[in-house]
């Protein structure tokens, strides 16, 4: 449920922060929608999940690495496979778990502190806000602004789709 329209942007922001929960452990799953930089001194990542918004002291890439291991491979192995098969050497989309159909793509280089990870199956559509800013609309009704052009997001969605197609013999993707 969103914050009612009669509140100011400052009120909405404070209410949103009150709804966030600090977590010591978080495991990426089919309900994970996005990982964004928290931009706070004590927290690294803001996790958007269908069950709520969480804050973690772990970085986005650390959470992705752990999820890849849970899915049966290393992040480096998953990345290397995508580079080998599809030649995506930069901002490589990752099939985190073939058995659970969990796939995500970075909005920047994963080494960049501004990098967000968007989980492909949750994206309904995307719209441009400015030349270098877009809104990602999720099936759950969540809307997230990311500091990336719409064309870059569309390119990443297309690349992620090709990655999934490569693994399409897995019934999870059908």
Q: pLDDT tens for residues 2-57?
A: 443 443 454 444 334 446 788 888 999 999 999 999 987 788 999 999 999 999 99
Structure tokens at 161: 């789709």
Domain count, the chain: 1
- Residue 2 located in a structural domain: no
Reported confidence tier of residue 148, pLDDT bands at 50, 70, 90? very high
- Cα–Cα distance measured from residue 53 to residue 47, given in angstroms and rounded to the nearest whole number: 6
pTM: 0.84
Q: What pLDDT was estimated at residue 9?
A: 52
Q: What percent of the chain has pLDDT over 90?
A: 72
Q: pLDDT (tens digit, 9 = 90+) per residue, 29-40?
A: 999 999 999 987
- Residue 35 located in a structural domain: yes
- Residue 97 located in a structural domain: yes
- Cα–Cα distance measured from residue 83 to residue 80, given in angstroms and rounded to the nearest whole number: 5
């Amino acid at each position: 449920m969103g914050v009612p329209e009669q509140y100011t942007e400052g009120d909405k922001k404070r209410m949103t922060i009150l709804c966030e929960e600090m977590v010591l452990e978080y495991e990426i799953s089919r309900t994970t929608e996005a990982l964004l930089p928290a931009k706070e001194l004590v927290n690294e990542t803001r996790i958007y999940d269908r069950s709520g918004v969480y804050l973690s002291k772990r970085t986005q890439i650390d959470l992705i690495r752990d999820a890849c291991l849970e899915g049966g491979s290393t992040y480096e192995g998953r990345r290397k496979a995508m580079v080998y098969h599809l030649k995506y050497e930069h901002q490589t989309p990752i099939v985190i778990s073939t058995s659970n159909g969990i796939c995500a793509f970075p909005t920047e280089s994963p080494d960049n502190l501004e990098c967000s990870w968007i989980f492909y199956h949750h994206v309904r559509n995307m719209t441009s806000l400015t030349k270098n800013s877009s809104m990602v609309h999720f099936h759950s009704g969540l809307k997230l602004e990311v500091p990336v052009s719409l064309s870059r997001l569309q390119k990443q969605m297309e690349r992620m789709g090709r990655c999934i197609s490569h693994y399409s013999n897995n019934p999870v993707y059908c």
